[in-house]
Amino acid sequence: MPQNKTIGFIPQDNRPVSFRQPVMAARLAGCKILTPPSGLLGYRTKPGDCDKISEWFIESFPKADGWVVSLDMLAYGGLVASRELLESLSNSMRRIDTISEAKKCFPAIPVYAFQAIRRLSITVKSSADLRNWKKHHENDLLKKYRSRNHKVNLRAIKYLQTGALDRLSLLQEDARPDGPQLKEQKALLAFAAASKTRSKLCLTTGADEGALVLLTRLINRLEGKKIKVKVIFSSEKGADRIALYEDRPVRETVFGQLNAIGAEIAVNSTKPDFELYVWCPDRPCVDLVFQDRVSGNPLELTRFVNWIRKSVQNGRSVVVADLAYANGADPEFCRMLSKTVALPRLAGYSAWNTAANAAGYAVAQGALNLKDKHFLALRLMEDWGYQAEIRAAADLYVKAVLKGDVWSLTPRKKIQAEKYIKAGLCRWVKKNLSRFNINSFSAALPWARTFEMDIWNIS
């Protein structure tokens, strides 16, 4: 473990997956984490204070052994703000130029950055936004967003050439296989090739996993550690399907996250640091927020779980990426897995949001080799417990009983919803995670919507 190393970190926003959880994992790995004051990071549709964060970054830069920086936070005030035209191109460029200023003074301090490639549509702020989502895909305003953000993406690649950045992840946020992002991606890769920076750039799908993935890569660099991974897909046909909100097959998504984290694929007799088991059944992918689950193939399920069981019994480090659905775990898979394998013996598990988000968090857990099981318990509680089992009931409670909007809760209804969800999670943990010996935890709806949970203080 890289004891006594300090990593500076600017997150893309203050959601748990963007901020609290990456910090938690890095601390469990033995690092000290330096972050901006939380009050500067904004909240949901309120942008972070870019200028004050830039000032803090310049002042704090020499205090860290390395940095992981969200360019979306520096340029626009966060990921959600990057989908708006609140900031001009010139202001966005000026702010991210602070990285060049810092590196000129301290060139030996590595800086890893990540930034989203503009997604298809608007941010969903309410149920009304959700109803209007499709019609916003290709209007003129979105084209202006795309043009500005693309120019900032190109500037980030330029920083690889000048040495201001040591690594860059450009992460394709929610997309479709034939979307406008394809032309942008081609241009970005061509520019990287022309500037001879391709080896320092990873362009793959994702966004919210970017912080944890690059923190993990930097931690392993500081430790002088190279990671080798063996990947096992549950279904070759499933690995070749394109997951929801992505523009490439699941197989490419998984290998993209492994590339982003700096892992090598273990081949032949090479002993891997961990084995990544990818649950990607050969069936249509659905979004658990909006659609009902699909019945699986019992033979496929049993076979794959038995592969995992044998690997765990043989003492191997096993990580599970559950990519059957978008926005949550496959409960059928999880129930069989928990009956067959002692879940605390896993080295990692992830199933939240998109395939790229889940895959990135899965490989990070394996690469960090966390002995403390609190992060694993957190993922099971949120991805399986909340997203796959409890959220649907919580949404019904909010709509039918509280007469509220699941995408925009009033303060009072937020408290009522949290109480309902916490009670359900307590019952679920007692039933499904008894081997973790969890006695208490805190839980809240961080952005006043039921889409995600903040779970912390697990003990």
pLDDT at position 125? 61
pLDDT at position 135? 54
Give me the DSSP letters along 301-327.
HHHHHHHHHHHHHTT--EEEEE-SSBS
Cβ neighbours for 90, distance < 8 A, ≥ 6 positions apart: none
Four-point Cα dihedral 179, 364, 222, 28, nearest 10: 140
pLDDT in tens, the chain (459 residues): 566 899 999 999 999 999 999 999 999 999 999 999 999 999 999 999 999 999 999 999 999 999 999 999 999 999 999 988 888 999 999 999 999 999 999 999 999 999 999 887 666 666 665 565 555 555 555 677 788 999 999 999 999 999 999 999 999 998 889 888 999 999 999 999 999 999 999 999 999 999 999 999 999 999 999 999 999 999 999 999 999 999 999 999 999 999 999 999 998 878 999 999 999 999 988 999 998 888 889 999 999 999 999 999 999 999 999 999 999 999 999 999 999 999 999 999 999 999 999 999 999 999 999 999 999 999 999 999 999 999 999 999 999 999 999 999 999 999 999 999 999 999 999 999 999 999 999 999 999 999 999 999 999
The single-letter DSSP state of residue 242 is B
Helix (H, G, I), strand (E, B) or coil at 353: coil
Q: In 286-410, which residue ranges form alpha helices assigned H by DSSP? A: 298-313, 331-340, 355-368, 374-379, 391-396
pLDDT at position 117? 94
pLDDT at position 4? 80
pTM: predicted TM-score of the whole model, two decimal places: 0.94
CA distance 155 to 101: 15
Listed in order, strand segments (DSSP E) in 118-269 are 167-172, 201-205, 227-233, 263-265
pLDDT at position 342? 97
Contact 148, 166 (CB under 8 A): no
Cβ neighbours for 53, distance < 8 A, ≥ 6 positions apart: 10, 36, 40, 41, 73, 74
Going from the C-alpha of 28 to that of each of 2, 31, 82, 91, 435, the distances in angstroms are: 11, 7, 31, 37, 20
pLDDT at position 284? 86
pLDDT at position 400? 98
Four-point Cα dihedral 253, 254, 260, 264, nearest 10: -140
Q: List the structure tokens of 202.
A: 């990873």
